[in-house]
Structure 1
């Protein structure tokens, strides 16, 4: 989350081009929406596989997201959009295209504003989220804006642990398609990278963060893959 926020700020200042990033989580964590003020007390003391489940704050809105068995994406971009819904639809197009190439058809959710009273982001699907035809919410996304610059990131729910999910949210997770568990993360990243290039008619250049950039962020651990637009 700190890396996403730093990249967004650097892009605002003209120091970095638009960015596409993919990452996973270690240790397992719950990210809280920027304005989320309430969450279950039990989240403070959760453990999974002998390690504490971390609580982190996102720079974007929304509710709690459990980051276990998921792939997270982040897009930093500047542009003109008719409105925020149009921005979601334009940015999410590469995800829809990528998943379609893998045989999964996605459509947007339709939940109303009452979702804000629920601490679990994946309990409902709004117009910012992508759902399979079965109703399974595959991707939850959120945004933060500064002028015409947006950070949009989201979680793709691939292999959730059902026991941990129930422990966190006190509810059962809908059954994911079995084929999701067979997907390889490296292949997924390559699929979405190619989909982004085709969707936005661009080329991507992979660049790791420099030591100086790491020092500026004071990040606890390095990211493994960094993609930036030329």
Structure 2
């Protein structure tokens, strides 16, 4: 079985969310294969869960490195995520049976295996639905999230289902700016103790490559690397207009 792999690239949050939504719609209609991609957000952004309507007004005026921090709504649920110093993954596929939590765990297997290959063991969080009262996605870890041995949350994920297909995307914390994190959430970001071997300027590429390799084993497939075409970009732009992704309210 062949999946599409879209190469890693940075773009504004409204663009990245439109791509994920477009991929889900295309796959659920049967016109696009299962897809894996990794991406970063430029400029830095805060993404809000689809149903998250309350957040501090100050978030609309935050800046980082001279640029306004974007405020973007995700098509998926969950709480707010700061997208800076992190890597985001997105999986779009179908044919998975079980509850939402079971689907989460099936799709998280490649994350666990990939990080294990880098020398880090991850486990599922244990928090209950108390997360709905917490504005910060990384302030608590549910059974759908992956944490380090000391309980620090490394990966927070969210889902959206459509006609038997699922979009699961999530933020992987790597090297967040602690001052920006504190300004957003009013609390210090827990440091991530990464092995020396995977630190440095190529960190996002190294992590993405490890996770891609793990995915081929977990999903029993091969990747066809295929960037987005001009026609696909045009369709995604239309989707941004349709849903108004990324516009501050």
| TM-score clears 0.5 | yes
Deviations 1:119-153 (A, max 9, x none): 10000000110000021100000001113210000
Cα distance change, pair 12–56 in 1 and its aligned pair in 2 (3 A): same
> Cα offset for 1:75?
0.2
Partner of residue 91 from structure 1, selected from 107, 112, 115: 107
> Cα offset for 1:178?
4.6
Structure 1 residue ranges, 4+ long, deviating more than 6 angstroms after superposition: none
Partner of residue 209 from structure 1, selected from 228, 238, 246: 228
Do structure 1's residue 149 and structure 2's residue 165 form an aligned pair?
A: yes
The equivalent of 2:204 in structure 1 is 185
TM-score normalized by the length of structure 1: 0.92
Do structure 1's residue 171 and structure 2's residue 190 form an aligned pair?
A: no
- The whole-number CA distance in structure 2 between the counterparts of 1:89 and 1:114 is 20
The equivalent of 1:31 in structure 2 is 47
- The whole-number CA distance in structure 2 between the counterparts of 1:90 and 1:178 is 25
Do structure 1's residue 6 and structure 2's residue 25 form an aligned pair?
A: no
Partner of residue 161 from structure 1, selected from 177, 185, 208: 177
Deviations 1:146-179 (A, max 9, x none): 1321000000000010000000001111122153
The equivalent of 2:6 in structure 1 is none
Q: What secondary structure is seen at the aligned counterpart in 2 of 1:92?
A: helix
Cα distance change, pair 103–178 in 1 and its aligned pair in 2 (3 A): closer
TM-score normalized by the length of structure 2: 0.86
- The whole-number CA distance in structure 2 between the counterparts of 1:210 and 1:172 is 41
Deviations 1:185-230 (A, max 9, x none): 22221111110001111100110111011011118xxxxxxxxxxx
Runs (5+) with no aligned partner, structure 2: 1-16, 239-249
Q: What secondary structure is seen at the aligned counterpart in 1 of 2:143?
A: coil
Counterparts in 2 of 1:32-51, with a 5 A limit?
32-51=48-67
- The whole-number CA distance in structure 2 between the counterparts of 1:52 and 1:80 is 39
The equivalent of 2:97 in structure 1 is 81
Contact 1:138–1:157 (CA under 8 A) maintained in structure 2: yes
- The whole-number CA distance in structure 2 between the counterparts of 1:81 and 1:106 is 23
The equivalent of 1:109 in structure 2 is 125
RMSD: 1.4
Contact 1:158–1:181 (CA under 8 A) maintained in structure 2: no
Aligned residues: 220
